[in-house]
Each structure stands twice: as structure tokens, then as C-alpha cells.
Amino acid sequence: MKTLLFRWLLPSILIYTFASPAMAALEIFACEPEWGALVNEMAGSRAKVFVATTAMQNPHLVQARPSLISHARLADLIIYSGAELEVGYLPVIVQQSGNDKIQVGKTGNLDASKYVPLIEVPTILDRSQGDVHPMGNPHIHYDPRNMIRVGAELRRRLTEIDPAGATEYEQRYQAFSQRMQEAITKWVQEAAPLKGVAVIENHKEISYLFNWLGMPVTGSLEPKPGVEPTAGHLAELVANQKMRPARMIVPASNRDPKPAQWLSQQIKIPVVAVPLTVGGSGGAKDLFSLYDDAIRTLLAGLKS
């Protein structure tokens, strides 16, 4: 115990307390992988990113793990989807961190949902409708135009926190937004055959992609947001297929594949799983490859 204390714990505390300003790298806490990827685009080596969740996890059900408190404690900035996606753990983390820089309202607290237009804002606010988010659908990352919007705000925040890097942040933002804009033009052309292609989703976590590409959603495997698929509801989807036929079932890759497979056998349309976010498939390594991967997967699904 004593050796642990003196050989390791105390020196590390001293290093972190006194040496970190000299090392200059900003500590950024990103709740979801897409925001970690965006920070990498916007700040490069000026920031060290800690990503709280992976593409394999359901972002609604994250635990307030001790490691999240310690990394929030170190953070100069936290970036999260917002619109209550992280309501089950983030308020506790921010409160327990004892870090004044990341409290709500501070420059170091970036709620991405505040900078993009939200879709699917519920008109009825009642939990009988499932786990609805009062401000709208919080899975904003699947519309690449939102990355440019949030990127602009991130650049502003980074510049305020780390003025020495202002030029670099500006250059990176300009380069990123231009590259993203070009990619968007390319994606929209590539995805032209997907326009009007009806799909069945699992949860409303890919809505922004469908909305962007103009793909109507005829139904969800979940009877209500956050409620697991039921036999009765799946039977309804089978019946619905006759009236409003969908071309494919598109769940996120972290979801239980069984309900989608069952429905697929019943109504004879393919299951086309797309990554939930960066890291959700072998191809989705950063933001660009995420949208690339998703669009290619959907196009391939259209042919099958």
C-alpha cells in the first residue's frame, strides 16, 4: 500500500497537477465516438480525446462509471449529443467531477443538439409513448451536415479555451467543412438510387440518415422508442408490409439481430445493418468512412 502510494500515486498526481499545462494538449471528453472523431478532425494533436462509449453500446443505458468521473475531472471540454440522450449518467458525472470548466453553461460544456435542427420533436409528451425525448431526436450524428454545424461551434469553443491554437483550429475547420461539403455532394449523388426507398428501422437512431437521404420509414421494430420488439408488434409490421411495402430492414449493428431476421424471413426483404456510429463496423473508422460505409451498405442492400 505504501509503495503504491509513494512510487506511483503521488508522483502521478504531481505530474498531472503541475506538468499538464506545459504539455499543452487539451483534454476532451466525448460522450459518443462520433464526437471523438469530430474533435480529432478539429483539433488534431492539440487535444487528447477520451471517448466514454463505443458504437457497440446503447448510448441511453450507459453507467456513471468511475472512469467517466476521473476523465471528466481532467477535461477542458466535454462534448455530447444532448437532447437528453445522456440524461441517465452525464449529470451525475459532471456533478461528481468537481470540475468547474465543464458545468452546464460553461464554454467547456458543448451540447451539440443546441446547434443543429432537431427532427421528430414529439407533439405528445407522455411516457406512455415510450422513452421520448422532449426536445426531439437526439441521434443527430447521422446527418453529415450536422457535423459541419457542430464543428463550427467546436472551433469557437476550442479557440476560446486554447487561444494559442486559434489559427490551427480555423484552418482545420475550413479544411474539414470543405472536405465534408464535397463529400456530401458526392454522397448525395451516390445515394440517388436510395431516394424514396422505404425502410423499416429498429430504433430511431438512424432517422437523421433516412431524413437526409429522403428514405421513408414505414415502421420500427420497437413498438415504442426504447421498448423491445414484441411478437404482436412484429405481426403488425408483417401486415403493414402489404399496404406500405418497405425494401429493407435497417437496424444499427449493435442491436440484437433476431427480431430483424425473423421479420426478414416473414416479409422477404433483406436485413441491412449499418454501424450505429464510428467504430460500429470494420469500415467506419472516422466520420467520412462512417457515412461512406452506411451509404455503400444501403446501396448493396438495394441490389440484394
Q: Which residues of the shown chain bind another protein in the complex (CB under 8 A)?
A: 9, 12-13, 16-17, 20, 53-54, 56-58, 61-67, 69-71, 73-74, 84, 87-92, 95-101, 103-105, 114-117, 119, 127, 130-131, 143, 145-146, 148-149, 152-153, 177, 181, 184-185, 188, 208, 211-214, 226-228, 254, 256
- β-pair partners for 48: 27
Q: 56 or 302: whose CB is closer to another protein?
A: 56
Neighbours of 66 (CB within 10 A): 10
Nearest distance from residue 56's CB to another protein, in Å? 4
Nearest distance from residue 300's CB to another protein, in Å? 20
Nearest distance from residue 247's CB to another protein, in Å? 19
Q: 57 or 218: whose CB is closer to another protein?
A: 57
C-alpha grid cell, residue 299:
446501396
What is the C-alpha separation between 77 and 157, in angstroms, rounded?
9
Q: 63 or 266: whose CB is closer to another protein?
A: 63
C-alpha grid cell, residue 181:
461539403
Q: 72 or 248: whose CB is closer to another protein?
A: 72
What is the C-alpha separation between 36 and 219, in angstroms, rounded?
31
Nearest distance from residue 268's CB to another protein, in Å? 27
Q: 100 or 239: whose CB is closer to another protein?
A: 100
Nearest distance from residue 104's CB to another protein, in Å? 7
Q: From residue 69, how far is each of 57, 73, 82 by CA, in Å?
A: 18, 6, 18
C-alpha grid cell, residue 48:
487528447
CB neighbour burial string for 183-207, b if at least 16 within 10 angstroms, e if fewer: ebeebbebbeebeebbbbbbbbbbb
Q: 13 or 166: whose CB is closer to another protein?
A: 13
What is the C-alpha separation between 138 and 85, in angstroms, rounded?
6
Nearest distance from residue 110's CB to another protein, in Å? 13
**Residue that the C-alpha cell 470494420 belongs to:** 282
